[in-house]
Amino acid sequence: MADPEIKSYALHHESQSAAVTESRPAKAVLMIVTFAFLGIFLLLPLIVVFNEAFAKGLSAYTEALTNPDTRSAIHLTLLVAAISVPLNIVFGVSAAWAIAKFEFKGKAFLTTLIDLPFSVSPVISGLVYVLLFGAQGLLGAWLKAHGIVILFAVPGIVLATIFVTFPFVARELIPLMQEQGNGDEEAALSLGANGWQAFWYVTLPNVKWGLLYGVLLCNARAMGEFGAVSVVSGHIRGLTNTMPLHVEILYNEYNAAAAFAVASLLAGLALVTLVLKTLLEMRYGAEIAATRGH
Amino acid sequence: MTTAPAKAGWRFRQPSVIPGFGLTLGFSLAYLTLIILIPLSGLIWRSAALGWADFWAIATDRRTINALEISFGTAFIAAAVNVVFGTIVAWVLVRYSFPGRRIVDAMVDLPFALPTAVAGIALTTLYAPNGWLGSLLAPLGIKVAYTPLGIVIALIFIGLPFVVRTVQPIMEEIDKEVEEVAATLGANRFQTIARVLLPGLAPAIVTGFALAFARGVGEYGSVIFIAGNLPYKSEIAPLLIVIRLEEYNYAAATAIAAIMLALSFVMLLVINLVQTWSRKRYG
């Protein structure tokens, strides 16, 4: 997206001449607009979450979080992330290796297909599995005959989560590995390393921060996914309720304090993700690909 | 696992000393096919099996049309709002230095990281008639929660980082010489921004709009709490899909999903064309 030709780092020091900055009042207006907009749209919702979570006191908060249904929702969310994130890491690394290290026909098309889940509504991401595995689904009768339960159970939730988090690792690694080229690996191979050693001792150390960055975003989405999981989960309390779904149930039961207590855990996860992400960008910016937009 | 389509000799790929092509491409394709392609083609297959008459009846149902209008309309407005404010936010973050700039910059990604259901209940509480902002707006006669305006608010929240993160890197690369030249040639600051800088940013702004719009059309979690979900009035298309599924009306759910996918695809195609055009014109 960026035009590589317009880069002149020499000019990046701040030149404060009036000709290339706004007047003081204009500057002030733009800053106020920015702070007001971000304050209202980003900061206030975040404050509301914690404010409502503790609205009925600390004991109500801890009680909401130690409730057995809440605990089973936390367990399920961790379980789903623990399965889907590693699978997407394996896929992301493998796809990045094939796409970044080789030139082959249809590469651009394959890259587009990997990004596909980002342009599909989460509800549709869930729906496709209902159409496949549901009672009226294409495989529904066969699954029932063999006693395999996918929908309204953990496997369905895992599948829907994998679907929506599918591109995160791959799209972080592909541009990064393309940028780094094949030189290091070729050197390792010519010095007698086998392919696996070249990957483990050369490629992986080169991309580890970019990989971590992708995993971070992938994990945040996996634990927070709502729409896709909602469609395939069946909302069975204590069994197929993930944390976001549990938030919905509690909220719809007018148990706002408990809903926000669980929500505060998810908001905490989001904040931790943001802090780690920012630290990665600050310390290893150059080693994370130039792609920031998701 | 190795479905190696390429051994030595065939020109499907250019020769390379690096090993593992068959393994990694084979695994990636298998995984992609199982997780994404087969389920998605199931959707297309199911809606094709509906037959034209049934499909048309569902597509022209008032409730379906209204839901699609609400989804696409609110997403469009929200993306337009985000284009204006997102560009200002990006400008302030790139050009001005102030204490805490790093933190403000990191905050912009909050909507990416915060689960949508959490955003949904937080915004609803904030804009409900007795909420912090809702109680301020109520005397002015503005109702946000449980109206289409609430949907727009939720989609502004969801879409903001898409615009900022697309425009920001391009702004960082603007060569200040260009602005100096414009100023030397007699342009005032406003002219420089409107006629020199903005055209260069246009492709990025259009991309940001498209991403925010596409995300907004499909958004579910953050919207359903604040929307009120009245059929014909504040019911979004993804919710209608869920409702039809809960009624075991797979046909209707499938048809609405297929229409949404097709419309999004057409929109993205149009936006792509606009982008190519603006890049050619101003690139």
Q: Minimal Cα distance from A116: which residue of B?
A: B36
CB within 8 Å of A24: residues ≥ 6 apart: none
Task: Say whether residue B5 is in contact with chain A using an 8 A CB cutoff.
Answer: no
- Return the bridge partners of B13, or none: A104
Are B88 and A30 contacting, i.e. CB atoms less than 8 angstroms apart? yes
Q: Check pLDDT > 60 for residue A294.
A: no
Please indicate, yes or no, if residue B208 is contained in any of the structural domains: yes
B196 burial (CB, 10 Å; 0-12 / 13-18 / 19+) is: middle
Sign of CA dihedral A3, B168, A164, B270: negative
Please indicate, yes or no, if residue B212 is contained in any of the structural domains: yes
Mutate to test the interface with A, among B16, B27, B43, B114 (most CBs of A within 10 A): B114
Q: Check pLDDT > 50 for residue A95.
A: yes
Which residues on chain B are in Cβ contact (under 8 Å) with A1? 166, 169-170, 203-204, 207
Q: Minimal Cα distance from B259: which residue of A?
A: A124
Write the DSSP assignment of B57-87 as a string of letters: HHHT-HHHHHHHHHHHHHHHHHHHHHHHHHH
What is the Cα–Cα distance from B195 to A33, expressed in whole angstroms? Answer: 22
Please indicate, yes or no, if residue B14 is contained in any of the structural domains: no
**pLDDT tens-digit map of B152-203:** 999 999 999 999 999 999 999 888 888 888 888 988 888 888 888 898 899 8
Any idea which of A23-32, B6-15, B108-117, B243-252 has the lowest mean pLDDT? B6-15
Residue range A85-109: mean pLDDT, rounded: 95
Q: Minimal Cα distance from B177: which residue of A?
A: A11
Please indicate, yes or no, if residue B20 is contained in any of the structural domains: no
- The residue ranking higher by pLDDT, A129 or A18, is A129
Sign of CA dihedral A279, A283, A288, A293: positive
Are B196 and A30 contacting, i.e. CB atoms less than 8 angstroms apart? no
Q: Check pLDDT > 70 for residue A17.
A: no
Percentage of chain B exceeding pLDDT 70 = 96
Residue range B90-103: mean pLDDT, rounded: 94
In this predicted structure, what is the pLDDT of residue A161? 97
In this predicted structure, what is the pLDDT of residue A12? 46
Give the closest residue to B225 by CA, choosing from B113, B114, B125: B125
Give the closest residue to B256 by CA, choosing from B245, B270, B267: B245
- The residue ranking higher by pLDDT, A73 or A290, is A73
Residue window 190-249, chain A: list those with CB within 8 Å of chain B.
Answer: 190, 194-195, 198-199, 217, 220, 223-227, 230-231, 243-245, 247-248
B53 burial (CB, 10 Å; 0-12 / 13-18 / 19+) is: exposed
The alpha helices in A102-153, defined as continuous H runs, are 107-115, 122-133, 140-145
What is the Cα–Cα distance from B148 to B230, expressed in whole angstroms? Answer: 10
Amino acid present at A235: H
Number of domains in chain B: 1
In this predicted structure, what is the pLDDT of residue A15? 47
Q: For residues B181, B184, B188 and B189, what is the CA-based torsion angle, rounded to 10 degrees?
A: 40
**pLDDT tens-digit map of A48-70:** 999 999 999 999 999 999 999 99
Mutate to test the interface with B, among A31, A42, A54 (most CBs of B within 10 A): A42
Any long-range contacts for A83-86 (C-beta under 8 Å, 24+ apart)?
Answer: A83/A158, A84/A158, A84/A161, A84/A162, A84/A165, A84/A222, A85/A165, A85/A215, A85/A218, A85/A219, A85/A222
Amino acid present at B230: L
Distance (Å) from the C-alpha of residue A59 to the closest C-alpha of chain B? 21
Distance (Å) from the C-alpha of residue A30 to the closest C-alpha of chain B? 7
In this predicted structure, what is the pLDDT of residue B9? 53
Q: Check pLDDT > 90 for residue A293.
A: no
B52 burial (CB, 10 Å; 0-12 / 13-18 / 19+) is: exposed
What is the Cα–Cα distance from B136 to B140, expressed in whole angstroms? Answer: 8
Indicate the DSSP class of residue B36.
I
Please indicate, yes or no, if residue B153 is contained in any of the structural domains: yes
What is the Cα–Cα distance from B115 to A3, expressed in whole angstroms? Answer: 34
Please indicate, yes or no, if residue B104 is contained in any of the structural domains: yes
For chain B, the average pLDDT equals: 91
**Candidate from B91, B180, B238 with C-beta closest to A19:** B180
Please indicate, yes or no, if residue B78 is contained in any of the structural domains: yes
In this predicted structure, what is the pLDDT of residue B5? 53
pTM: 0.90
In this predicted structure, what is the pLDDT of residue A218? 97
**pLDDT tens-digit map of B123-147:** 999 999 999 999 999 999 999 999 9
What is the Cα–Cα distance from B61 to B10, expressed in whole angstroms? Answer: 53
**pLDDT tens-digit map of A171-211:** 999 999 998 899 999 999 999 999 999 999 999 999 999 99
Q: Check pLDDT > 90 for residue B282.
A: no
Residue window 129-188, chain B: list those with CB within 8 Å of chain A.
Answer: 131-133, 153, 156-157, 160-162, 165-166, 168-170, 173-177, 179-180, 183-184
What is the Cα–Cα distance from A257 to A53, expressed in whole angstroms? Answer: 5
Q: Report CB contact under 8 Å: A127, B254.
A: yes
Domain that holds residue B61: 44-282
Q: Please report, for residues A18, A234, A244, A261, B225, the alpha-carbon distance to residue B120 in angstroms, rounded to integers and kept in the order given.
A: 44, 20, 11, 15, 6
What is the Cα–Cα distance from B131 to B234, expressed in whole angstroms? Answer: 20
In which band, very low, low, confident or very high, does the pLDDT at B10 lie, cut at 50, 70 and 90? low
Any idea which of A121-130, A180-189, B7-16, B244-253 has the lowest mean pLDDT? B7-16
CATH number at residue B230: 1.10.3720.10
Please indicate, yes or no, if residue B33 is contained in any of the structural domains: no
Residue range A127-136: mean pLDDT, rounded: 91
**pLDDT tens-digit map of A214-268:** 999 999 999 999 999 999 998 888 889 999 999 999 999 999 999 999 999 999 9
In which band, very low, low, confident or very high, does the pLDDT at B279 lie, cut at 50, 70 and 90? confident
